[in-house]
Amino acid sequence: MSTLWLWASDACLLIGSFLLLTGALGFLRFPDFYARIHACGVTETLATGFVLLGLLLRSDDAMPQVKLVLILLFVLFSSPTASHALAKAAWNAGVRPRDNSGKRRVSLPHTDP
Amino acid sequence: MLCLLVATAIALIAVRGLLASIMLTSVYGLLSASFFVTMDAVDVAFTEAAVGAGVSPLLLLLTVAIVGRREAASNARRLVVPLLLVTVTGALLIIGTLDMPSFGSPDAPAQTHVAPRYLQQSGDEIGIPNVVTSVLASYRAYDTLGEVLVIFTAGVAVLLALAPAGQGGSARAEPPAPEHLAPHTILQVVSKLLIPFMLLFAFYVQFHGEYGPGGGFQAGVIFASGIILYGLLYGLPTVCRVIPPPVVEVLAAVGALIYGLTGVLSLLAGKNFLDYSALAADPVTGQHIGIIAIELGVGIAVAAVIITIYYAFAGRLHTRED
Which string of DSSP letters, residue by residue, matches A40-98? Answer: HHHHHHHHHHHHHHHHHHH--SHHHHHHHHHHHHHHHHHHHHHHHHHHHHHHHTT---B
Residue B141 identity: A
Does B72 score more than 80 pLDDT? no
Query: Measuring CA to CA, how many Å separate B306 from each of A79, A101, B105, B121, B316?
Result: 26, 45, 38, 35, 15
Sign of the CA dihedral with B94 first, then B98, B100, and B104 last:
positive
**pLDDT reported for residue A58:** 83
Q: Which of B181, B187, B193 sits opposite A85 (nearest CB)?
A: B187
Quickly count: other Cβ atoms within 10 Å of residue B130's Cβ.
Answer: 22
Task: Give B169's pLDDT tier (boundaries 50, 70, 90).
Answer: low
Inter-chain residue contact B184 with A85, CB threshold 8 Å: yes
pLDDT digits (tens, 9 = 90+) for B83-137: 899 999 999 999 988 887 777 777 777 677 777 777 777 767 777 777 777 777 7
pLDDT digits (tens, 9 = 90+) for B184-213: 778 888 888 888 888 888 888 888 877 777
**pLDDT reported for residue B90:** 92
Give the percent of chain B with pLDDT over 70: 87
Domains of chain B from N-terminus onward: 1-70 (1.20.120.1200), 128-175+182-322 (no CATH)
Q: Which of B181, B186, B187 sits opposite A92 (nearest CB)?
A: B181
Nearest chain B alpha carbon to A75: B194
Distance CA B297, CA B251 (A): 10
Q: What is the DSSP letter of A29?
A: H
Nearest chain A alpha carbon to B183: A88
Question: Does residue B224 contact residue B306 with C-beta atoms inside 8 Å?
Answer: yes
Residues of A in contact with B193 (CB under 8 A): 77
Q: Does B69 touch chain A (CB under 8 A)?
A: no
Q: What is the largest CA-CA distance in chain B?
A: 68
- Among B58, B179, B190, most A C-beta atoms within 10 A, so best to mutate, is B190
Q: Which of residues 35-74 of A touch B (CB under 8 A)?
A: 74
Q: Which of A77, A88, A92 sits opposite B190 (nearest CB)?
A: A77
Residue of B129, B125, B133, B56 whose CA lies nearest to B298: B133
- Among B58, B61, B186, B233, most A C-beta atoms within 10 A, so best to mutate, is B186
Inter-chain residue contact A78 with B194, CB threshold 8 Å: yes
What predicted TM-score, i.e. pTM, was given to this entire model?
0.79
Question: Does residue B184 contact residue A85 with C-beta atoms inside 8 Å?
Answer: yes
Inter-chain residue contact B184 with A88, CB threshold 8 Å: yes
Q: Does A85 touch chain B (CB under 8 A)?
A: yes
